[in-house]
Amino acid sequence: MSEHRNLFDPVKMGDLDLANRVLMAPLTRNRAQSDGTPRDMAETYYGQRAGAGLIFTEATQISAMGKGYLDTPGIYTDGHVAAWKKITDAVHAKGGRIFLQLWHVGRISHVSLLPDGRNPEAPSAIAAKGQTFTANGFEDCSTPDAMSVERIHEVVNEFRHAAEMSRKAGFDGVEVHSANGYLLDQFLQDRTNKRTDQFGGEIENRMRFLELVIDAVSEVWDKDRIGVRLSPLGQANDIGDSDPEGLFTEVYKMLSGKGLAYLHVVESFPGSDKDSAGQDLLKRLRGHYHGFYIANGGYDAESASAAISDGHADAVTFGRPFIANPDLPERYRLGAELNTPDQDTFYGGGAEGYIDYPFLKPGEKAA
């Protein structure tokens, strides 16, 4: 039996009671239909993982212009809602909880993925030094158009509409994706935001778009059913800031004052080192958020238990371990051996590497 008892202590997040603190991270799998409608096998995939204290769905675009990768799901049409409703019903039937992650990729896109071959949209017309996944394989991100103030407010309304659709689809709440170098993060950080209007320049201005989105989503959902995801270390999609501590200190304080359900922080990315300077920064920032805190990035049962025990985190999200282990909480509880994830099937494809990972056999214990 595992010694990590605190991972399995129930906890209250907002007004939700979570059965455990082993949460499933958002995981892009590129298995939706081309129009963004989740496929039937997604119902099985999420239902298999309902033992998580809470499931965060894969990032889900709020509009056709929010798409940045081939075969990612949406939440802006009735067809999307109907397909997601089957998924939320499957999770709830097994006693699980599930939040939808609301997503707009901004400049991390390609003209072939967007309506009428339009350019991506971003705070400033600066192309990302990176690639995205299209029908032709990996291609360089297209140069974006700088968004007008009118367009910014249109996207705020698209977030509101997506929040409304997520309620219709039966979700327990929503997460606003402001991490990993996507649109809201692009407005926050000055490598990507060179604007001189009310959405650029000073930190207060760069936070304005995120605040407007949170307030719009709060018109649909109670604040204790809304969370935000951040990645202060800037390790993805050519994102960065000249003063990350100054910026994210203010972002953390702003979010702390919003009374949201939680803050979800990407503390490291696969393949990146957990250097001492970055970890020290995360600890200093943590002191500015006085609410439910979810940690993510490279955790295992032991380190997650330690993070909860020492008060750094209230819960932890696990990504790749949940891909390969649909019964991950039970495996951690028993100290059982974990399945090894197959990286070749992470993105795209069918059932293989998606819904065919084995569960523990009856009576199977620690290795």
Task: Just list the catalytic residues.
Answer: 182
Considering only CA atoms, which of 201, 215, 299 is closest in space to residue 260?
A: 215
CA 285 to chain centre: 19
**DSSP sequence for 229-258:** EE-TT--STT---S-HHHHHHHHHHHHHTT
| Dist. CA 30–CA 44, nearest whole Å | 15
Considering only CA atoms, which of 171, 198, 278, 194 is closest in space to residue 234?
A: 278
Strands 22-24 and 16-18: unpaired
| Dist. CA 253–CA 244, nearest whole Å | 14
Q: Is 226 helix (H, G, I), strand (E, B) or coil?
A: strand
- Residues in CB range of 343: below 8 A, 6 or more apart: none
Q: What are phi and psi of 193, to 5 degrees?
A: -110, 105
Token readout for 170 is: 């039966």
